């Protein structure tokens, strides 16, 4: 599969993408394939992962679908084994799978807290546990984790999600610190509000979408392809001197002062 300019950032590499069945994961898997990677599309919903694979293969790319519950060490290990068996190694891992359960400390159930923490944080620990030795044996690689601007700021009724994404940011730094000597870079992306299925459900009416979009300096909600582009850069040698970073991709959402609640000074 060739880009229009003929340059492929990930030519000859193998990439794992979790949560590849929809949203950011599907967009990233397809972008990695466009950039020349063979892609292991992992998702708890095998049929959705296969849809992503079909889209990649239909345009000349290489990909396979794997059913994985990222909260399971055994299933993470199996995912890694499949990647090595099918493609010969692992150069890139985009640990993107995640979930959200709204609620504050009083209203959120303990079970929902555990689901969010296991899916958003423990999954990265388990994925890294099994991917890192393979990457080290291959001379290095790039791990990218999906964090969120919610891990950098406090959101109403987002105690579990915000705490989990803050943990992802520092887990990323710890992994980068521990494994730099093995040639492994570890970074995370902190998306703002992106047009994914969960966001569409939360912002079901046009007025809500417009209000949230207007909170960004760029006056719109972001696209999964824009996060995928950032992931492709972090996966590639173009970012060879970048590790331990939390890359914010939020349309300027976190750049705005709370004082802007008093008025919008942007030129029109």
Distance CA 91, CA 199 (A): 31
Sequence spans of domains, the chain = 14-193+223-241
How far, in Å, CA of 139 to CA of 113, rounded? Answer: 37
Lowest mean pLDDT among 50-54, 98-102, 255-259: 255-259
Q: Give me the pLDDT at residue 268, please.
A: 45
What Å distances lie between residue 136 and 73, 81, 147, 236, CA to CA?
A: 19, 15, 24, 17
Q: Is 170 exposed, middle or buried (0-12, 13-18, 19+ CB in 10 A)?
A: middle
Contacts of 186 (CB under 8 A, 6+ apart): 128, 142, 143, 144, 145, 172, 173, 175, 176, 179, 243, 244
Q: What mean pLDDT comes out for the span 14-25?
A: 98
* pTM: predicted TM-score of the whole model, two decimal places: 0.92
14-193+223-241 fold: Rossmann fold (3.40.50)
Summary mean pLDDT of the chain: 92
Residue, of 202 and 263, whose pLDDT is higher:
202
Dump pLDDT digits (tens) for 116-162: 999 999 999 999 999 999 999 999 999 999 999 999 999 888 999 99
Cβ atoms within 10 Å of 107's Cβ, excluding its own: 10
Residues annotated catalytic, as ranges: 161
- CB neighbours of residue 268 within 10 Å: 3
């Amino acid at each position: 599969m060739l880009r229009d300019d003929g340059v492929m950032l990930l030519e000859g590499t193998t990439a794992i993408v979790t949560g590849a069945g929809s949203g950011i994961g599907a967009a990233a898997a397809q972008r990695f394939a466009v950039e020349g990677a063979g892609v292991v599309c992992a998702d708890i919903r095998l049929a959705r992962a296969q849809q992503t694979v079909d889209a990649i293969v239909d345009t000349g790319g290489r990909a396979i679908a794997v059913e994985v519950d990222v909260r399971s060490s055994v299933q993470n290990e199996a995912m890694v084994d499949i990647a090595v068996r099918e493609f010969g190694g692992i150069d890139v891992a985009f640990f993107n799978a995640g979930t959200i359960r709204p609620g504050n400390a009083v209203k959120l159930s303990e079970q929902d807290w555990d689901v969010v923490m296991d899916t958003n944080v423990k999954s990265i620990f388990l994925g890294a546990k099994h991917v890192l030795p393979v990457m080290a044996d291959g001379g290095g690689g790039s791990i990218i984790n999906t964090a969120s601007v919610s891990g950098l700021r406090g959101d109403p009724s987002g105690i579990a999600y915000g705490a989990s994404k803050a943990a992802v940011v520092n887990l990323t730094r710890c992994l980068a610190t521990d494994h730099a000597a093995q040639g492994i870079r570890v970074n995370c992306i902190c998306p703002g509000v992106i047009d994914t299925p969960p966001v569409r459900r939360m912002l079901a009416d046009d007025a809500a979408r417009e209000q949230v979009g207007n909170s960004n300096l760029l006056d719109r909600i972001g696209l999964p392809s824009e996060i995928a582009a950032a992931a492709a850069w972090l996966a590639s040698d173009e970012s060879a001197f970048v590790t331990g970073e939390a890359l914010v991709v939020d349309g300027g959402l976190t750049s705005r002062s709370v004082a802007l609640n008093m008025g919008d000074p942007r030129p029109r």
